[in-house]
Structure 1
Amino acid sequence: MKNFGRAVGVRIDGRGEGVRGKRRIPLLLAVAGFAYLLDLCSKLAVVSELENHPPVGVMGTWLELRVMRNSGAAFGIGGATTILFTVIALTVALVIVRLARRLYSVPWAIALGLLLGGALGNLTDRLFRSPGDLQGAVVDFISVRGFSVMNLADWAIVCGAVLIVFFSFRGWELDNAGEEVGDENAEAA
C-alpha cells in the first residue's frame, strides 16, 4: 500500500490513509535560482565598480563594502585547500538534488534552496575566477567590523543552515511525515 501511494504521489500515514501533498522541487529551484542570481549579479557589480578602490561605508565603519578575494572558507580559513572547498560545495549541491525527491515541505524547500543557491554561487567563483582549475578565489565584499567579510552566497548558506538546524530541532521532516494528518482523518479513526 505504501509503495502504491508513493507511485501516485500520495503519502500514506500510519493508519494506511492517504495524505495529499505535492513535491516542492519548483520552490526549491526558485529560491536557489534567486539566491544564485542575486549573488552572481552582486559580485559582478562590486568587482567592476569597487575592486581596487577604498571601502565604501554603508553604516560608518560598522558595515562596509570592501572587495576581497578569498581562496579559503569562512574567515579565510584553509586558503591552501581551495580544491577541498570546491569538492565540498559540489557535494552539498548533489546531496540537495538527491534529497529533493523526498521534499514536500515548504519550509525545507526554502532552507535547502538557500543552501543550494549559496553553494552554487561560491562554486561558480571557484570554477571560473582566477586562478581557475577548481581553485578560484571567492569574491567577498560585505564587511562587518570585527566579524568577517562575506558575500550574498555566504549569507544564503548561513541562513539556510540556521533554518535546517531549527527545523531539525523542531522535528520537521522533508516529507512532512511528522505533521498531523488532519482533523478529518483523526475523526475517522
Structure 2
Amino acid sequence: MSTEHPPEADTGDPEVRSAALPKRRIGLLAVVAVLAYAVDLVTKVAATSALEGEEPVRILGGAVYLQLIRNPYAAFGMDFGGTWLLAVVAMVVVGVIIWFAKRLRSAGWAVGLGLVLAGALGNLTDRLFRAPGPMQGHVVDFISVFGPDGRYFPVFNAADSAITIGAALIVLLSVLGRDYDGSVTRRGGDKPSADSPEGTA
C-alpha cells in the first residue's frame, strides 16, 4: 500500500492565504508621512521667521516668489465655509487613512496616501495651534509662482503640494488598474491574483 500523501489542498487557512499576498505597506506609508510632515513643519517655521513683514523674495528668475500669507481657507485659498469645518474635515481624512493603512499592499498607494496624510496633518497642525485660536488657526502659505501675491496661482505650502502630488499619484494608479491591495486589474476587467508577478507592483 502506498504511503504517499496526496498533494496538500487549500485548507482556507488565513495564514496560508496571507503568505501569498504582497507584504503590507504600513511602514512605507508611515515613513513617507513623517518625512513629508517634517518638511512642511520645518519650511513653515523658516518662512515665518524669515518672511514675516518682508517684501516678497524673488527666486529662480521670478518663477517663484517667497511671500508669507496666513490663510484661513482651504488648500490654494479655496473657501469651504469656515476654518473649524476644515479642521474637522482634516481630522476625518487623517482618521480614514490611518484606519485604511492596514489594508495597503501597494507601494505606490502607500506613498500616495502617505503624502496626503502628511499634508492633512501639516495644515491641521496650523489650524489647531496657530492664531487666532484652536480649530480657527490660519495656515502658513509662502510659495507664489510666476508672480507675488498669488496673482497667477494661489499661494501654497509644502502640505498643499504633498496633498496634490499624493492625490495625483493615487488617481494615476487607479487609472492604470493598480489597486491598493497590490493586485493589478487588466483592461479586460480581469484581476489576477495578488501573488502573480503583475500583482506585486
Q: Is 1:66 the equivalent of 2:72?
A: no
**Structure 2 vs 1, CA of residues 9 and 100 (structure 1 numbering), >3 Å: closer, same or farther?**
farther
**Structure 2 vs 1, CA of residues 79 and 92 (structure 1 numbering), >3 Å: closer, same or farther?**
closer
TM-score (structure 1 length as normaliser): 0.85
SS at match of 1:149: coil
In the TM superposition, structure 1's runs of 4+ consecutive aligned residues that sit over 6 Å from their partners are none
1:175 paired residue number: 181
In structure 2, distance between residues paired with 1:10 and 1:182? 13
In structure 1, the gaps of 5 or more residues are 12-17, 184-189
In structure 2, distance between residues paired with 1:9 and 1:135? 50
In structure 1, distance between residues paired with 2:43 and 2:178? 33
The CA deviation string for residues 133-177 of structure 1, in whole angstroms up to 9 with x for no partner, is: 201000000111311210000000000010111111112111113
In structure 1, distance between residues paired with 2:98 and 2:145? 32
1:33 paired residue number: 34
**Structure 2 vs 1, CA of residues 95 and 60 (structure 1 numbering), >3 Å: closer, same or farther?**
same
Tell me which amino acid in the other structure corresponds to 1:88: V
Report the CA distance between 1:75 and its aligned residue.
3.6
- 8 A Cα contact 1:9 1:22, kept in partner: no
Report the CA distance between 1:79 and its aligned residue.
7.2
- 8 A Cα contact 1:103 1:175, kept in partner: yes
1:153 paired residue number: 159
In structure 2, distance between residues paired with 1:21 and 1:74? 34
Question: CA RMSD, aligned part only?
Answer: 2.0
Task: Compare CA radii of gyration and give the structure with the larger one.
Answer: 2
Identity %: 47
